[in-house]
Amino acid sequence: MTRLSVNINKIATLRNSRGGNIPNVVEAAINCEKFGAQGITVHPRPDERHIRKQDVFDIKPHIQTELNIEGYPSEDFLKLVKEVQADQATLVPDKPGQLTSDHGWDTIKHQSFLKDVINELQESGIRTSIFVDPDKKMVDGASIVGTDRIELYTEPYACIYPENPEKAIAPFVEAANLAKELGIEINAGHDLSLKNLKYLVDRIPFIAEVSIGHALIADALYMGLRNTIQEYLECLRP
């Protein structure tokens, strides 16, 4: 069964909008796991507009499953990931101040850089995953840089899915099959929701993990966090 990692950035965004510590991101992480999530994802950005560095240190001791830290692999980010001893680091090619991730790595152009970063993290015992578009050339490049996993950037899938599910999923199936052949595990994330998640994992049942934040937290406003997580887990069951 594909594992569910809940991205709690939006909870931190809500907290930061008012100041103080309500809602409490540590309590949110604990509850996500208690309600069935198999991991917690955070994406600390340089401006700390949602998850802050201190949040990451505060959350880690309370995580019973695994902590996935996303971000651009700057010196500060790598230092944080190693100090916290994250279970997984997901590397994204975001520019400072970027609203949200919107593309994968060019694994050919940035081959040398990615090799060095991945080696540094793996030497510290941290599993690596890199954000990749559903492009077979980029998957080939991911194999060369030595990453443990790729995270397929699924916004294009989510955009096309309502109009043509088969067209939406086709490049992702090709990319995933190639990654599997190359011995790379597969994660997926971005704009996944209760509307499109089951179709994705039914067509690519060997996805190791999905990371979902925005839609899941939005759904929780209406259904509650416990019920929402259970609904997402139901989508992931074979």
Both tokens of 100, joined, read 């949200």
Active-site annotation holds for 190: yes
Could you tell me the pTM of the whole model? 0.94
Separation of alpha carbons 143 and 121, rounded Å: 16
Residue from 33, 50, 70, 151 carrying the catalytic annotation: 70
Phi-psi region of 71 (alpha: psi -120 to 50; beta: other; left: phi over 0): left
Domain boundaries, the chain: 3-236
Mean pLDDT, the chain, integer: 95
Fold of 3-236: TIM Barrel (3.20.20)
pLDDT higher than threshold 80 for residue 96: no
pLDDT in tens, 15-34: 999 989 999 999 999 999 99
Residue from 33, 151, 190, 209 carrying the catalytic annotation: 190
Active-site annotation holds for 110: no
Q: What is the pLDDT of residue 103?
A: 73
pLDDT in tens, 31-87: 999 999 999 999 999 989 999 999 999 999 999 999 999 999 999 999 999 999 999
Give every CB contact of residue 12 below 8 A, 6+ residues apart in sequence.
25, 42, 50, 51, 52, 55
pLDDT higher than threshold 60 for residue 98: no
Active-site annotation holds for 151: no
**Which has the higher per-residue pLDDT, 104 or 31?**
31
Both tokens of 226, joined, read 């416990």
Ordered DSSP codes for 202-226: HHSTT--EEEE-HHHHHHHHHH-HH
Residue from 43, 50, 151, 209 carrying the catalytic annotation: 43
Q: What is the pLDDT of residue 104?
A: 87
pLDDT in tens, 170-203: 999 999 999 999 999 999 999 999 999 999 999 9
CA separation, residue 63 to residues 24, 106, 211, 224, 236 (Å): 15, 32, 16, 21, 21
| Cα-based angle 10, 12, 13 (whole degrees, multiple of 5) | 60
Whether the bond between 96 and the residue before it is cis, its omega within 30 degrees of 0, is no
Under 8 Å between Cβ of 91 and 115: no
